[in-house]
Structure 1
Amino acid sequence: MSLAFLLTTLVVVATPGTGVVYTLAAGLSRGRRASVVAAFGCALGTVPHMVAAITGAAALLHAGATAFQVLKYAGVAYLLWMAWATLRDRDAIAVEGPSAPVPAGRVIVRAVLINVLNPKLTIFFFAFLPQFVTPGEPHALTRMLALSGVFMLVTFVVFAAYGVLAASVRRHVISRPRVLTWLRRSFAGSFVLLGAKLATTEG
């Protein structure tokens, strides 16, 4: 495992994106457990992209403009839906005392969808993983699987750290309705901006 791979992975994962926004929202609204579950879901959502890259499907997707556009706009639509749902549902960013926890399954499904409907991840893995595998290497598939596993682990650890950090400041905003309103609008706006950025991504 090269240092270059680890550093590149850390930079890519730590850069704020849709998964980070969702994990932060989970931490602020439901606490540490929800943020860790969301982080797990986001890491799980990278699996299809890794499989696509490893099996060569990513190459076909990258070459097919129509397939890329369909996946891209599905992702844009989902991000806009997340923004609308965040604004509409006051419980989406509601920091309260004891409350009924959101089912872990629902948190994971939303987190997985956020990453599955992000074609940039497929292109990223297609361009990223091969750089760390020697051409003609007899165990290339095994190595790519190992690298993918490390990427998933780093994703989970970094996202969970983001979420736990957000959860740690929950108490400071419990009695501040204006802060909650600002947070809800900020997260909704973040989803809109991320959707707009994705919409302008060239295939």
Structure 2
Amino acid sequence: MVWRSVRAGGDTKTKKSRRTLALPKRCVEALRFHQELQRQQRKAAGQAWRDHDRVFASTVGTERNANNVLRSFRAILQKTELNPDEWIPREMRHSFVSVLSDSGVPLEDISRLVGHNSTEVTETVYRKQIRPVLLAEAEAMDGIFTDDEPSHSVGHSLHSVVAPPKTAANTSPPTIGSTISAHPPPDGPAAGAHAEA
């Protein structure tokens, strides 16, 4: 792995920028396709090719500047339904964060992938892209409190507090100043809601 930046001095923006990331298979396939394309460009350029050992080079092997990248980026966008004038290459980074967030990737992992020092930085910079969804917790609660819980379960106890079973002594909903027992009412005339003094 080669760590190098096009910034002055060849160093990365921050220490966190110097990191090794695993590539998805589709990215590996895209890089192999690009490598083959570059071989063809090198052959077509002939003696005009200038080898600077760049993965992403111009059609003659030289470094690409911001204008080169923007021009290529907009050429790709013209083949889509997106408006090229409204997009810049940095939008890819925002899209990356959005897709990961929508797919349920934890904020901590997203923060590490984009090279931030903390999740607070990620939340501040990408507050519009981050989706604060806590699906795992909600699904866990659904698993705990199911409709077919036995009478001695926590789920039943909570249900009893919210909606106590109707009895002869409890045919109307409790009023202000009454208490509801979370346990099944005992036999006898004192069952149900008890009025407080």
Report if TM-score (shorter chain) is over 0.5. no
TM-score by length of 2: 0.26
- The answer to which structure has the higher helix fraction is 1
TM-score by length of 1: 0.26
